[in-house]
Structure 1
Amino acid sequence: MSVADKLGAGSSFGRIPRSGHRSERGRAKAVAQGDIPEYELVRLSLAEVSPTPLNPRRNFGSEAELAEFGEKLRKVQLAACTAVTRAVYLELWPDHEARIGSAQFVLVNGERRYRAALQVGLEALDFVVRDELAVSREEFVDNLLKENLDREDFDVIERARGVQELVAVCQGNQSAAATRLGKDRSWVTNQLALLTLPEEIQALLSAGEMAERDGRQLARRLKENPALGAADLVSLWKDIKAQEAAEREEKKELLRAAREGRVLSADNTKTPQEPKLARASADTVLSADNTQHLAPATPEGTPSVLSVDNTDQSTKDGTDVLSTDNTKTGVPSASGTIPHQSSEAASGTGPEHSNVPLLRQLLGETPADQAAALADAFSADELAALVKALSVHV
């Protein structure tokens, strides 16, 4: 038994039968009679198969990686390759005749399996021949691209090239291409923008050294200033990443300060905290930047309360307390405590509540940013306790 005959038992393909070559007329009759499914598993010699020049994939792995994969195929082929017949393919792309040579079949997917088999000298592989995938240029490229989009190792530039090819066969209609792929038109536009970047930047994206989000940002900058070269864009990228790192560190420091009970001034610099700050003497108050100021006494000798703009707002009896917008919030009771504010103000949901902007600055604007900031600042037990406490107030 030859090596090729030992390839792939075919049991993993369920009920798809393996067959030899049939004439088109004989196959059509068999399908019409229900003797065989619309497509069947066949064994094809690799010598009569050609990859399509349209495949956006360029990186199939090193020779060592292909050889390792080929040895696995020698034992068992878990998935069949997909191909269309030469005649159907050349009806769509007659100018590819010289490029596919004498091949009788053209790959739709499975090129890495094909290359790996050649690398270790295998003679044949299992195929499914599906001419219905090539009823139009759009249909063929759509199927070619969808198969690759599902791969985790399909790098962003390869994907962008595939999208570009699909847009081309859709006569430049990005909306039509997006519909075929089940994506928004903006997604297609962003993919094409990556291909406007210099090759050096595209190489960073392909290697995974630059995030796709960063690539899109550089593409926007390049559109605004076409004179930017590869070196300029790399420098800009490094500046952007450094700024983002500094902002993340600033947020971490703010959260650490809040967690440790340190006081930060309005410009986020440390301000010494008095040991007994919570029990400040009757003749001192705090200004808006958390520094102590002497409170001027009233004619009766009672210390007055300063508003946030540090002006003496004492009333006729020297007992009124002013809110942050300099409106009366109540008079201390005989016990010296300040009457309760309205439920809206006390809960922090009122429009005058001043902690909301600070919290957003500390945690970020989006729920994702807020969750990341809290996770970075607190342990799992502390977060669980926080969630439990919040559930009481919600």
Structure 2
Amino acid sequence: MSVADKLGAGSSFGRIPRSGQRSERGRAKAIAQGDIPEYELVRLSLAEVSPTPLNPRRNFGSEAELNEFGEKLRKVQLAACTAVTRAVYLKLWPDHEDRIGSAQFVLVNGERRYRAALQVGLESLDFVVRDELADSREEFVDNLLKENLDREDFDVIERARGVQELVAVCHGNQSAAAARLGKDRSWVTNQLALLTLPEEIQALLSAGEMAERDGRQLARRLKENPALGAADLVSLWKDIKAQEAAQREEQKELLRAAREAQMLSADNTTATQEPGHARSSPDTVLSADNTEHLPPAAPTPGATPAVLSADNTDEPTKDNADVLSADNTEAGESSASSAIPHQGSEAADGAGGENSNVPLLRQLLGETAADQAAALAEAFSAEELAALLEALSVHA
């Protein structure tokens, strides 16, 4: 049994009619009626097919990879190859006659499938023959290149060669080639520039050892100084990479230093040191109002560091200094009595024995009922206010 018989007639594509099963008249009628597309799957002997010399792809994988792919094709061919007829192809490139030999069909895409099939000894594959893809040189090369541009393993130099071929068939018009590919003209120019690099550099690009961005940069340097050789460009490339690495490290150090110089205030916002301002001394503390409080510019010798009072501001040292009362106002130091009035004091009672906390609460909460309500609402949650009212009703 032949390899073709083992593969079966169209087993991987279901029950699709093949052109060999119809007469030309029957096929034309079926196309006119819309029963079949203008092109159908055909089973072609690989001996009848030739790759096009125009294919920019050179790397089709290792022998082992081709063997593995070929064995997969032996079981199932998921995608058909595309070809044009010999006559249509030679009409565009008559000088390729010797290069395609006696082949009756020329590949547009699917050369890796073709090579893998040959590698494992397959005799035929499924094809679609689409002569409309060779209406012009530009059309043929455009379709040839578009398939490769979508491939992840299409290396940089292969792509550049394909673009170069398309520009050539567009009579050197880079803008026309760019329009066909849906790219900017500058993109096409950059692709062509890569081909001006020495073969050693192109090999690095093809192998993925050098980034395309680096290749374009070297191409610009070569344009500025055409005397540069491959060794010069490799040395320049290494210098560029070393400089970039040093710059990245410097940026990391700057970021690290910036983070270390930052201070977090108690309100969880970053307080960055101002230029020319020395870092705060150990005596500097954060008040409970979440702001930094610097010590006096000329502290008294032997004085203790500033501390925080209940009103969230710096409390001065107690030696010969004012202190803050619980109502958040400064009360001058009294030589004979406490700065805070005591309950029962005639001076503080104001109304002869009235609770001294009442004026204080009014000062804190406000004079009017509306102000007092607003202050309480701001200070307590709804549940806390409810508990407070309940407690007040008990003491009322």
The within-5 A match list for 1:193-342 is 193-261=193-261, 275=282, 281-283=295-297
Are 1:8 and 1:74, in contact at CA under 8 Å, matched by a contact in 2?
A: no
AA paired with 2:104? Q
The whole-number CA distance in structure 2 between the counterparts of 1:86 and 1:210 is 40
Counterpart of 1:114 in structure 2 is: 114
Deviates more, 1:117-126 or 1:29-38: 29-38
AA paired with 1:165? E
DSSP 3-state at the match of 2:242: helix
The whole-number CA distance in structure 2 between the counterparts of 1:39 and 1:7 is 22
Deviation at 1:274, TM superposition (A): 5.3
Q: TM-score, normalised by structure 2?
A: 0.66
CA change 1:126–1:254 in 2 (3 A) is: same
CA change 1:237–1:31 in 2 (3 A) is: same
The whole-number CA distance in structure 1 between the counterparts of 2:24 and 2:137 is 22
Counterpart of 1:72 in structure 2 is: 72
Deviation at 1:249, TM superposition (A): 1.2
Are 1:8 and 1:78, in contact at CA under 8 Å, matched by a contact in 2?
A: no
The whole-number CA distance in structure 2 between the counterparts of 1:66 and 1:239 is 39
Are 1:7 and 1:125, in contact at CA under 8 Å, matched by a contact in 2?
A: no
Report whether the alignment pairs 1:184 with 2:184: yes
Flag structure 1 segments of 5+ consecutive residues without an equivalent: 285-333, 336-394
CA change 1:69–1:259 in 2 (3 A) is: same
The whole-number CA distance in structure 2 between the counterparts of 1:90 and 1:240 is 48
Aligned residues: percent identity? 88
Deviation at 1:242, TM superposition (A): 0.9
Deviations 1:51-106 (A, max 9, x none): 00000000001111101110110010010000000010000000000000000000
Which of structures 1 and 2 has the larger relative contact order (alpha carbons within 8 angstroms, sep 6+)?
Answer: 1
AA paired with 1:283? A
Deviates more, 1:96-105 or 1:248-257: 248-257
Flag structure 2 segments of 5+ consecutive residues without an equivalent: 264-271, 285-291, 299-328, 331-396
CA change 1:43–1:233 in 2 (3 A) is: same
Counterpart of 2:97 in structure 1 is: 97
AA paired with 1:248? R
Deviation at 1:246, TM superposition (A): 1.1
Counterpart of 1:87 in structure 2 is: 87
The whole-number CA distance in structure 2 between the counterparts of 1:80 and 1:38 is 15
Deviation at 1:23, TM superposition (A): 7.0
DSSP 3-state at the match of 1:20: helix
Counterpart of 2:369 in structure 1 is: none
Counterpart of 1:296 in structure 2 is: none
Deviation at 1:247, TM superposition (A): 1.1
Deviates more, 1:122-131 or 1:13-22: 13-22
RMSD: 2.8
Are 1:218 and 1:233, in contact at CA under 8 Å, matched by a contact in 2?
A: yes
Are 2:51 and 2:111, in contact at CA under 8 Å, matched by a contact in 1?
A: yes
Deviations 1:256-282 (A, max 9, x none): 222233799999xxx998545766554
The whole-number CA distance in structure 2 between the counterparts of 1:21 and 1:144 is 29
The whole-number CA distance in structure 2 between the counterparts of 1:8 and 1:182 is 40
The within-5 A match list for 1:22-61 is 27-61=27-61
The whole-number CA distance in structure 2 between the counterparts of 1:74 and 1:53 is 26
CA change 1:183–1:12 in 2 (3 A) is: farther
DSSP 3-state at the match of 2:126: strand
The whole-number CA distance in structure 1 between the counterparts of 2:8 and 2:191 is 38
AA paired with 1:261? A
Deviation at 1:11, TM superposition (A): 6.0
Deviation at 1:251, TM superposition (A): 1.4
The higher radius of gyration belongs to 2
Counterpart of 2:137 in structure 1 is: 137
Report whether the alignment pairs 1:169 with 2:169: yes
CA change 1:251–1:31 in 2 (3 A) is: same
The whole-number CA distance in structure 1 between the counterparts of 2:21 and 2:242 is 61
CA change 1:24–1:180 in 2 (3 A) is: farther
Deviations 1:186-206 (A, max 9, x none): 000000000000000000000
Counterpart of 2:128 in structure 1 is: 128
- Give the number of equivalent residue pairs: 283
Deviations 1:100-146 (A, max 9, x none): 00000000000000000000000000000000000000000000000
Deviates more, 1:166-175 or 1:6-15: 6-15
The whole-number CA distance in structure 1 between the counterparts of 2:13 and 2:144 is 21
